[in-house]
Amino acid sequence: MDTWTLQEGYPLLTVTRNQVDGSISLSQKRYLLDPYTSNQTSIYVNPFTSFLFQWYIPFNYITSAGLSSFDWLAPNQTRILSNIVSNTDWIVFNVDEFGFYRVNYDQSNWKLLTNELKTERSSFSSVTRAQLIGDAFNLARSGDLNVTIALELATYLINESDYVPYSTFSNNIQYSILMFSQDDESITFKNMQKFIQVLEQAKYVTSGWLVDPNLQSSDYLTVQLRTLIIRDLCANGYVACINDAVAQYRAWRTDPDTYAIAPDTRSIAYCQGIRNGTTADYEHMKELYKQTNDQVEKNRFGYALTCTRNVTLLEQLLNATLANDYIRLQDASRFINNIRLQPGGQKLAWRFISQQWLELVTKFGSVSFTLSDIVESVLEYVNTQQELTIVEQFMVTTGDLSIAERAFQSSIEKIRANIRWMNTVGRDTSVWLNNYVQTN
274-305 pLDDT per residue, tens = 999 999 999 999 999 999 999 999 999 999 99
CA distance between the termini of the chain: 49
Inter-residue contact 266 to 285 (CB < 8 Å): no
Does the pLDDT value for residue 424 go beyond 90?
Answer: yes
How far is Cα 42 from Cα 50, in angstroms, rounded to an integer? 16
Q: pLDDT exceeding 70 applies to what percent of the chain?
A: 94
**210, 231, 250, 335 from 265: Cα distances, Å:** 9, 8, 14, 20
Mean pLDDT across the stretch 154-168? Answer: 97
CATH of domain 2-160: 2.60.40.1910
**Per-residue model confidence (pLDDT) at position 40:** 43
Average pLDDT value for residue range 185-191: 96
Contacts of 275 (CB under 8 A, 6+ apart): 307, 308, 309
What pLDDT is recorded for position 48? 52
pLDDT, position 431: 98
* Integer Cα distance of 405 and 411 in angstroms: 10
Give me the helices (H) in 256-344, please.
266-275, 279-291, 295-305, 311-320, 332-340
Say which residues have a Cβ less than 8 Å from residue 111's Cβ, sequence separation at least 6: 149
pLDDT digits (tens, 9 = 90+) for 409-423: 999 999 999 999 999
Q: What is the pLDDT of residue 300?
A: 98
pLDDT tier at 391 (50, 70, 90 boundaries)?
Answer: very high
The pLDDT, as a whole number, for residue 416 is 96
Please give the average per-residue pLDDT across 141-163, as a whole number. Answer: 97
With residues binned 3-state (H G I as helix, E B as strand, rest as coil), the percentages for the chain, rounded to 5, are 60, 10, 30
Cβ neighbors of 286 (< 8 A, separation 6 or more) are 301, 305, 326
Interior/surface letters 127-140, b for 16+ CB within 10 angstroms, e for the rest = bbbbbbbbbbbbbb
Residue 370 has pLDDT above 50, yes or no: yes
Of the candidates 274, 335, 281, 259, which has an alpha carbon nearest to the alpha carbon of residue 307? 274
Task: Report the side by side order of strands in the sheet with 91-93.
Answer: 68-73, 57-63, 91-93
Strand pairing of 102-105 and 11-17? parallel
Domain positions in the chain are 2-160, 320-341+349-440
* Mean per-residue pLDDT, 174-192: 96
- pLDDT per position as a tens digit, 142-152: 999 999 999 99
| pLDDT bucket at 44, cuts 50 / 70 / 90 | low
Q: What pLDDT does 38 receive?
A: 55
pLDDT, average across residues 336-354: 94
Q: Are strands 79-81 and 68-73 parallel, antiparallel or unpaired?
A: unpaired
Give Cα 245 to chain centroid, integer Å.
Answer: 23
Note the pLDDT of residue 219.
Answer: 80
The pLDDT of residue 364 is above 80: yes
Better-scored residue on pLDDT, 317 or 330: 317
CA distance 170 to 244: 21
Is residue 379 within 8 A of residue 411, CB to CB? The reply is yes
How far apart, in whole angstroms, are the C-alpha atoms of residue 374 and residue 370? 6
* 107: pLDDT strictly greater than 50: yes
The larger pLDDT score, comparing residue 2 to residue 168, is at: 168
pLDDT value at residue 41: 44
The alpha carbon dihedral of 133, 135, 141, 145 has a sign of negative
**Per-residue pLDDT band at 179 (split at 50, 70, 90):** very high
- Angstrom distances, CA of residue 255 to CA of 75, 100, 258, 259, 306: 65, 50, 6, 6, 23
> Tens digits of per-residue pLDDT, 47-67?
556 678 999 999 999 999 887
Least confident stretch, 43-47, 118-122, 208-212, 308-312: 43-47
pLDDT-derived band of residue 214, with 50, 70 and 90 as boundaries? low
- If you average pLDDT over every residue of the chain, what do you get? 92
Contacts for 389 with CB less than 8 Å, ≥ 6 apart:
none
pLDDT at 74 over 70: yes
Alpha helix stretches (DSSP H) within 121-211: 126-142, 147-154, 163-180, 187-206
Least confident among 117-131, 258-272, 362-376:
362-376
What is the rounded CA–CA span in Å between residue 372 and residue 73? 41
Q: Given a cut of 70, is residue 39 above it in pLDDT?
A: no
pLDDT of 43 over the 70 cut: no
Phi, psi of 271 (to 5 degrees): -60, -50
**pLDDT for position 45:** 54
Which position has the higher pLDDT, 299 or 217? 299
Least confident of 47-61, 196-210, 259-273, 349-363: 47-61
Does the pLDDT value for residue 141 go beyond 80?
yes
Cross-strand bridge partners of residue 27: 14
